[in-house]
């Protein structure tokens, strides 16, 4: 067995174990850290496949930005672990169905990719002037441009939905309504109350004290 094959199996084992710990860890912070390990290991596998651009992109974008944001959010919000554990088994049937569909789709793609193939797939040396990034950009913006645009629209909708969920009204949070503040009138904010004067009574009391 070649050394690169041994390294691949070692990284693949670490990736599978880290992915399992992401969904089995009891602490959400630990799950996020295991996900960071999964990303790093996947980037190492991309490096073995000579896809340096994808490996660097995975580390910079997902580990450097997305996962750090997830980790800070998980550490800042107050997660009710007891509530999550209590309602865990209520979501198991739906999660099992979704997981089975995903596994079936991946199996169909892998089987269709390797059925009828008689020779193994080897990496082809493109030469010193070959640009992995340029070729990836050409394929992404020509053959898969519609899929790329649909993915962008889905991410935009997800961002809008996340912002809408965070802006919901909560009883334990104070907020201000700028439009109501601008529509306010003076008579709604100031009320003049007529009160009797007590200056005479106080003067009489002072005169009595002198006498």
Q: pLDDT in tens for each of the 211 residues of the chain?
A: 778 888 888 888 999 998 898 888 877 778 888 888 888 888 888 888 877 888 888 888 887 777 777 777 766 666 666 666 666 677 778 778 877 887 887 777 667 666 655 565 565 666 667 777 788 888 888 888 888 888 888 888 887 877 776 666 666 667 777 787 778 777 777 777 777 776 655 555 555 555 5
Cα of first residue to Cα of last residue in the chain, in angstroms, is 119
Tell me what pLDDT residue 33 has: 82
In the chain, where are the structural domains located?
A: 1-87, 132-167
Q: What angle do CA 92, 82, 15 make, to 5 degrees?
A: 55
Pairwise CA distance, residues 69 & 63, whole Å? 9
Q: Report the pLDDT value the prediction gives residue 122, as an integer from 0 to 100.
A: 61
Q: Which fold has domain 1-87?
A: 1.20.120
Residue 17: the pLDDT is 92
């Amino acid at each position: 067995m070649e050394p690169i094959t041994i390294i691949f199996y070692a990284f693949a084992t670490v990736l599978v174990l880290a992915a399992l710990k992401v969904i089995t860890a009891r602490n959400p912070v630990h799950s996020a850290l295991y996900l960071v390990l999964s990303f790093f290991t996947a980037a190492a596998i991309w490096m073995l496949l000579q896809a340096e651009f994808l490996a660097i992109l995975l580390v910079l974008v997902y580990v450097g930005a997305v996962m750090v944001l997830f980790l800070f959010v998980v550490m800042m919000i107050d997660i009710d672990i007891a509530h999550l554990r209590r309602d865990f088994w209520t979501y198991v049937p739906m999660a099992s169905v979704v997981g089975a569909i995903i596994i079936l789709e991946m199996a169909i793609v892998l089987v269709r990719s390797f059925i009828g193939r008689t020779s193994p797939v080897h990496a082809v040396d493109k030469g010193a002037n070959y640009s992995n990034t340029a070729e990836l950009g050409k394929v992404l913006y020509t053959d898969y441009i519609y899929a790329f645009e649909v993915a962008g629209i889905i991410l935009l909708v997800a961002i809008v939905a996340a912002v809408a969920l965070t802006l919901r009204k909560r009883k334990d949070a104070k907020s201000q309504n700028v439009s109501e503040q601008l529509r306010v009138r003076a008579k709604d904010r100031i009320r003049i109350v007529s009160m009797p004067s007590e200056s005479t009574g106080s003067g009489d009391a002072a005169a009595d004290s002198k006498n």
